[in-house]
Each structure stands twice: as C-alpha cells, then as structure tokens.
Amino acid sequence: MRIDILTLFPEMFEGPLSESIIKQAREKGLLEIRLTNIRDFATDKHRTADDYQYGGGSGMVMKPEPVFEALDSLGVLPAGDRSRSEHGAGEPEGAVVLLSARGRLLEHPLAEDFADRPRLTLICGRYKGVDARVAAAATHEVSIGDYVLTGGELAAMVVVDAVARFVPGVLGDIESAETDSFYEGILGPPSYTRPEEYRGMRVPDVLVSGHHEMIRRWRRREALRATMSRRPELIGKARLTDEDRDLLAEIEAEDNTV
C-alpha cells in the first residue's frame, strides 16, 4: 500500500514513521510512505503557503495553489480536474483525505476501508484551515476527535497507524487485529500476562485453566461488560450473536444481585 502525506512540516514524521511496526512494514515493502512538502510548490521567493481569508476574520488560511500543485505532482487527481464538485470531474486515485476538525470522525470501519485501497493520500491542514477548494478535491474530510490541534500532522500519524494494522502482513498475527477493540463493534476484553499473582492481584482462574472454550466465553463476556460500562452506545450498533445476548443477560443479572 502507498501512503502519501502532504505537509508543511515533514520533519515531524521522522520519529513515528521510523520506529516499531511502521518501520518494519516499510522495510518489508508492505507500506510505501512518501512525504511531500507543500511549501516546495509555493511560487514566491518566501515560499508562502498561507494568506488572509476573504471576508475578514482572524487567522490565516492555507492557499489552494501549493496543495493542488503538490497533488498534481503525485498524479493523484484526474488530469485537468481541479475540483470533484465540477460537473463531470473524475475520481481521484485511491482515497484523498483532508485532516480537518470539520471532518467525519475516524472510526474502525473507516480505517479498514482505507486499508482496502491501494493508495491513500493525506493532506495536513494548518493555521485556520485550508481553502475550501482543497476540501472539494478530497474524497474525505476526517477528524480524529472533537478537539482542535495545531495542525493535521498528528492526526495523519494516527490515521497511518490505524490503517497500517489492516494491511496484510503488517501485524505478525492477523488475530492481533481481529481481537482488537472495535473490530466487531465492541471493546476488547482485559488482558493478563505473567506473573500469575502480583501485589495480591491474581489472574482470573479461568485464564489459567487451559479450558479453551471457557476462556473464549469469558473473554467475550468481559468484552461485552466493558462495552456496557464504558461505551454503552456501541452495543446498539454492534454485530451481536445469540450468545452475546445471552451473555448480556448474564451480566445484567449479575449486576442486579450486587
């Protein structure tokens, strides 16, 4: 999978893209990540990438020309197209994502959808935002939460990390992704490792019982319990089985006896 990141601050990515799982995926050729400095496509001697906004107001806005020229250099936009909103405009190659506080919240299914595409292009906004014509050229506007960052770089790092986990071969064991929180719409169960007892706290007996079916059922029940307690709104959207509904009834009965 190829990921292009358009940014005014490419140096910010040196650490996150050169460590751990992302580093290994790049070395194996599973991920190709390229950084493009938007400022390289500014045409004045000061390499200006922002300007005052029309209509007045505080804050500067990123100019459209350097961003579009950067996209053109990557061959992302259809030839001659300047906005997807134009009548008859073709579709960009892969997903072109503008990181923006105005965007759709990044959730598990969206990250999985991006990973199914051969190419992902991330545009990092800065200042007061990006000229709206850039947003018109993107296929998605994405936010990582209901708060404002100083720029889209940190959000882009989150998107890369979330998407990379779904790319085949990036994780050593696909079950690592399939048992993550949110994979089936609910939170993950609690995890334990050695020692079996630490500071008076013991690993639940079922996990050391060797009974695989009991362990599976316990993990599912505790995942549902955590979801009900911390993110109850997810239960209504989750892919629940008949067993899940039985386990939820058990949890409710237990809670009522406490």
Q: Give the Cα separation of 237 and 69 in Å (integer).
A: 41
Strand residue runs (E) in the chain: 2-7, 32-37, 50-52, 60-62, 95-105, 119-124, 140-143, 197-198, 201-202
Look at residue 88 in the predicted model and tell me its pLDDT: 42
Dihedral sign (CA 82, 85, 89, 94) = positive
Phi-psi region of 4 (alpha: psi -120 to 50; beta: other; left: phi over 0): beta
Q: Give the Cα separation of 183 and 187 in Å (integer).
A: 8
Q: Which amino acid is at 146?
A: D
CATH of domain 2-164: 3.40.1280.10
Q: Give the Cα separation of 76 and 212 in Å (integer).
A: 49
**13-59 pLDDT tens trace:** 999 999 999 999 999 999 999 999 999 999 888 899 999 999 998 89
**In 10 A of CB 18, how many CB atoms?**
10
Between 257 and 6, whose confidence is greater? Answer: 6
Q: Give the Cα separation of 231 and 44 in Å (integer).
A: 50
CATH pick for 179-257 out of 1.10.3720.10, 3.40.50.1980, 1.10.1270.20, 1.10.10.10: 1.10.1270.20
Q: Given 3-state DSSP classes, what are the helix, strand and coil percentages for the chain, each rounded to the nearest 5?
A: 40, 20, 40
Name the β-bridge partners of 121.
4, 96
Look at residue 187 in the predicted model and tell me its pLDDT: 92
3-state secondary structure of 207: helix
**213-251 pLDDT tens trace:** 999 999 999 999 999 999 999 999 898 999 999 999 999
Look at residue 180 in the predicted model and tell me its pLDDT: 64
Q: Give the Cα separation of 3 and 189 in Å (integer).
A: 32
Look at residue 87 in the predicted model and tell me its pLDDT: 38
CB 133 within 8 A of CB 82: yes
Please determine, for residue 76, whether its predicted confidence score (pLDDT) is greater than 70. Answer: yes
Look at residue 256 in the predicted model and tell me its pLDDT: 87
Name the β-bridge partners of 197.
202
Among candidate residues 69, 138, 128, the one with its CA nearest the CA of residue 103: 138
Whether residue 195 is preceded by a cis peptide bond, meaning omega within 30 degrees of 0, is yes
CB 62 within 8 A of CB 125: yes
Q: Please state which of the ranges 1-5, 75-79, 147-151, 231-235 shows the lowest mean pLDDT.
A: 75-79
Q: Where are the domains of the chain?
A: 2-164, 179-257
Look at residue 89 in the predicted model and tell me its pLDDT: 52
**142-191 pLDDT tens trace:** 999 999 999 999 999 999 999 999 999 999 765 566 666 676 789 999 99
Q: What is the pTM of this model?
A: 0.86
Q: Residue 93 — pLDDT band, cuts 50, 70, 90?
A: confident
